[in-house]
Structure 1
Amino acid sequence: MAYKSKTDPALQALQTENTSAVFSLKRSILTHFQDFTKDFQSNMHHKGYRRFMDKLMDKEIPKAYREAAKAPVDEKKVVFVEVRHPQITNSMQVMFDELANNYDYNIHTHFLLTNGTIRADFRKRCLDAVKDIATAKYVFMNEASNTMSAMPLRPETKIIQLWHGCGAFKKFGFSTADLIFGASKDEQLKHPFNKNYSLVTVSSPEVIWAYNEAMNIDESKGIVQATGSSRTDIFYNKEFLKEAKEHVYELVPQAKDKKIILYAPTFRGRVAKAETPDMLNIKMFYEALGDEYVLLIKHHPVVKNPPAVPEEYKNFAMDVGNILSIEELLSTADICISDYSSLVFEYSLFEKPLIFFAYDLDEYFDWRGFYYDYYELAPGLIAKTNFEMIDYIKHIDERFDKKAIQDFRYKFMRSCDGHATQRIIDTVFENPEAHRKECKNFEHFYTVPKVESSKTPYFKRVENVKKQKKNATKLYDGVKNSELEKGSVIALDIKSKEVKTLAKANGIKLVKSSNLDEAIPAIAQSEYIIIDKPSTLLDGIELREETKVIYLPPNAFPLKTFGCDTKGYRSGLRREIYETAPLFKSVSAVTAPSEATGELFKKEFGKDVKVLNIGDIKTDIFFDEANKKKILDKIYETNPKLKGRKIIVYISTNGEAIDDSAMYEYLYKDYVLLKCYTNLNNATETLIYYSDSIVDVSNMFKPYELLSVADIAIGNINAPVLSFMSTGKPVFLYTKNTNKALSEMETLVDVKEDIKLPIYNDIEDVIKQILNIENYDYSGYNQTKDKYLANCNGKSLENLLNQLKYINKQS
Structure 2
Amino acid sequence: MSFFNNKKVSGKNVVRSTMLENRSKAGAVKLWLTRKWLFPFLYHLYALKPIQENKVIFMEIRFGNLTDTYQEIFNELVCNYNMDIHCHFFREGFVLKPAELKRQIDFVKDAATAKYLIYNDSSNTQGSFKVRKGTKVLNTWHGAGAFKKFGNSTIKKIFGGTEKDRATYKLHPKYHTVTVSSPEVEWAYIEAMGMEYNSQCVKGIGISRTDVFYKESFINAARDHFYDILPQAKGKKVILYAPTFRGMPRSAITPDMLEIGKFYEKFKDEYVLVYKHHPLVKIRPTIPTDYRKFAVDLTDDMSISELLCVTDICITDYSSLIFEFSIFEKPMIFFAYDLANYFDWRGFYYNYDELTPGPICYTNSEMVDYIEHIDERFDREKVHAFREKFMSACDGHATERIMKEFFGDDIEQFRRPAPVEGDFCDLPDAKILFRDEKKRIDRMKKLMNKAASAYRKAAKQPVIENRVAFLPDEASDWDVFYSLEKVLKENEGQYEIIKDVTYNAKNIESFVSKLAGAKVIFCSGEPYILRMIELREETKLIQISPELIPLYPKWISSKEIISGYNVEENKYFPIRSKYNAVMGSAEKDNELFAKNYKLAEDGKVVNIGNITTDMLFDEEFKANARKRLETICPYSTGKKIVLFLCKDRESAAGYLNRVMTMMHEAYAREYVCVGMVCDGKPGRRLEISEYLEGFAFDPRFVLAQRVAQQEADSLDGDAMPDSAGGVRMDKIDWKNVAPITHTEAIAIADIVVGDYCSQMFEAAIIKKPLFIWTPDRITFGREQEFYFDYDNLLPEITCSSNAELLQKVNDIDNYDYSALERFCERYISNCDGNTSIRVKEILENLIKK
Q: Structure 1-normalised TM-score?
A: 0.85
Task: Compute the displacement of 1:87 (Å).
Answer: 0.6
Equivalent residues of 2:611, 2:836 under 8 A apart: yes
- Residues 740, 573 of structure 1: alpha-carbon distance in 2 compared, 3 angstrom cutoff: closer
2:823 to 784, 793, 800: 784
Give secondary structure in 2 for the equivalent of 1:498.
coil
1:710 to 731, 734, 748: 748
Rounded Cα–Cα distance in structure 1 between residues aligned with 2:642 and 2:333: 53
- Which residue is equivalent to 1:481? 460
With 610-619 and 81-90 compared, the bigger mean Cα shift is at 610-619
| 2:665 counterpart of 1:673 | no
1:498 to 479, 496, 504: 479
Rounded Cα–Cα distance in structure 2 between residues aligned with 1:228 and 1:82: 20
Task: Compute the displacement of 1:268 (Å).
Answer: 0.9
What do the CA deviations read for 1:273-302 (whole angstroms, capped 9, x no partner)?
212222233333344445544433322111
- Which residue is equivalent to 1:20? none
Rounded Cα–Cα distance in structure 2 between residues aligned with 1:621 and 1:687: 31
Residue type at the aligned position of 1:480: A
- Which residue is equivalent to 1:436? 415
Equivalent residues of 1:64, 1:131 under 8 A apart: yes
Q: How big is the alpha-carbon RMSD for the aligned residues of Structure 1 and Structure 2?
A: 3.5
Give secondary structure in 2 for the equivalent of 1:550.
strand
Equivalent residues of 2:314, 2:333 under 8 A apart: yes
Task: Compute the displacement of 1:180 (Å).
Answer: 0.9
2:687 to 682, 687, 709: 682
What do the CA deviations read for 1:579-638 (whole angstroms, capped 9, x no partner)?
433334444433334545554322212556433445434334334444434333334557
| 2:275 counterpart of 1:276 | no
| 2:761 counterpart of 1:722 | yes
Give secondary structure in 2 for the equivalent of 1:390.
helix
| 2:504 counterpart of 1:514 | yes
Give secondary structure in 1 for the equivalent of 2:500.
strand
- Which residue is equivalent to 2:798? 759
Point out where structure 1 has 5 or more consecutive residues left out of the alignment.
Answer: 1-27
Equivalent residues of 1:148, 1:196 under 8 A apart: no
Give secondary structure in 2 for the equivalent of 1:578.
helix
- Residues 450, 542 of structure 1: alpha-carbon distance in 2 compared, 3 angstrom cutoff: same
Point out where structure 2 has 5 or more consecutive residues left out of the alignment.
Answer: 1-5, 490-496, 678-683, 704-738
Equivalent residues of 1:61, 1:127 under 8 A apart: yes
Rounded Cα–Cα distance in structure 2 between residues aligned with 1:293 and 1:767: 30
- Which residue is equivalent to 1:553? 545
* Mapping of residues 201-212 of structure 1, within 5 Å: 201-212=179-190
Equivalent residues of 2:229, 2:775 under 8 A apart: no
Residue type at the aligned position of 1:631: A
| 2:622 counterpart of 1:633 | no
- Residues 135, 365 of structure 1: alpha-carbon distance in 2 compared, 3 angstrom cutoff: same
Residue type at the aligned position of 1:628: K
What do the CA deviations read for 1:349-379 (whole angstroms, capped 9, x no partner)?
2333332222211111111111222223223
Rounded Cα–Cα distance in structure 2 between residues aligned with 1:665 and 1:402: 49
With 288-297 and 372-381 compared, the bigger mean Cα shift is at 288-297
Rounded Cα–Cα distance in structure 2 between residues aligned with 1:567 and 1:508: 32
Task: Compute the displacement of 1:649 (Å).
Answer: 4.4
Rounded Cα–Cα distance in structure 1 between residues aligned with 2:686 and 2:646: 12
Equivalent residues of 2:547, 2:759 under 8 A apart: yes
1:447 to 426, 430, 434: 426
Which structure has more relative contact order (CA 8 Å, sep 6+)? It is 2
Task: Compute the displacement of 1:233 (Å).
Answer: 1.6
Give secondary structure in 2 for the equivalent of 1:78.
strand
Equivalent residues of 2:242, 2:315 under 8 A apart: yes
1:621 to 598, 615, 619: 615
Q: Among the aligned pairs, what percent are the same residue? A: 36
Task: Compute the displacement of 1:430 (Å).
Answer: 4.3
- Which residue is equivalent to 1:8? none
- Which residue is equivalent to 1:176? 154
Give secondary structure in 2 for the equivalent of 1:366.
helix
- Residues 119, 482 of structure 1: alpha-carbon distance in 2 compared, 3 angstrom cutoff: farther
| 2:519 counterpart of 1:527 | yes
Residue type at the aligned position of 2:314: C
Task: Compute the displacement of 1:83 (Å).
Answer: 1.2
Rounded Cα–Cα distance in structure 1 between residues aligned with 2:611 and 2:33: 53
Task: Compute the displacement of 1:256 (Å).
Answer: 4.2
Rounded Cα–Cα distance in structure 2 between residues aligned with 1:296 and 1:511: 52
* Mapping of residues 293-692 of structure 1, within 5 Å: 293-431=271-409, 432-437=411-416, 442-451=421-430, 453-454=432-433, 472-492=451-471, 494-495=473-474, 496-499=477-480, 507-515=497-505, 516-596=508-588, 598-605=590-597, 609-637=603-631, 649-653=643-647, 654-655=652-653, 656-657=656-657, 659=660, 673=672, 675-678=674-677, 680-685=685-690
Rounded Cα–Cα distance in structure 1 between residues aligned with 2:344 and 2:397: 37
Task: Compute the displacement of 1:269 (Å).
Answer: 0.9
With 171-180 and 194-203 compared, the bigger mean Cα shift is at 194-203
Equivalent residues of 1:170, 1:368 under 8 A apart: yes
Equivalent residues of 2:65, 2:429 under 8 A apart: yes
What do the CA deviations read for 1:517-568 (whole angstroms, capped 9, x no partner)?
2344233332233333434542354322112333343333444532233333
Residue type at the aligned position of 2:843: L
- Residues 636, 52 of structure 1: alpha-carbon distance in 2 compared, 3 angstrom cutoff: same
With 542-551 and 335-344 compared, the bigger mean Cα shift is at 542-551
Equivalent residues of 1:560, 1:747 under 8 A apart: yes
Task: Compute the displacement of 1:96 (Å).
Answer: 1.2
Equivalent residues of 2:633, 2:699 under 8 A apart: no
- Residues 510, 539 of structure 1: alpha-carbon distance in 2 compared, 3 angstrom cutoff: closer
Rounded Cα–Cα distance in structure 1 between residues aligned with 2:116 and 2:686: 35
With 497-506 and 758-767 compared, the bigger mean Cα shift is at 497-506
Rounded Cα–Cα distance in structure 2 between residues aligned with 1:37 and 1:393: 54
With 135-144 and 404-413 compared, the bigger mean Cα shift is at 404-413
2:55 to 63, 77, 90: 77
Rounded Cα–Cα distance in structure 2 between residues aligned with 1:256 and 1:792: 42
Task: Compute the displacement of 1:312 (Å).
Answer: 3.4
Q: How many residues align?
A: 775
Equivalent residues of 2:244, 2:317 under 8 A apart: yes
Equivalent residues of 2:129, 2:173 under 8 A apart: no
- Residues 528, 769 of structure 1: alpha-carbon distance in 2 compared, 3 angstrom cutoff: same
Task: Compute the displacement of 1:199 (Å).
Answer: 1.8
- Residues 378, 728 of structure 1: alpha-carbon distance in 2 compared, 3 angstrom cutoff: closer
Rounded Cα–Cα distance in structure 1 between residues aligned with 2:279 and 2:197: 32
Equivalent residues of 1:557, 1:719 under 8 A apart: yes
With 540-549 and 679-688 compared, the bigger mean Cα shift is at 679-688
Q: Structure 2-normalised TM-score?
A: 0.82
With 277-286 and 591-600 compared, the bigger mean Cα shift is at 591-600
Residue type at the aligned position of 1:610: K
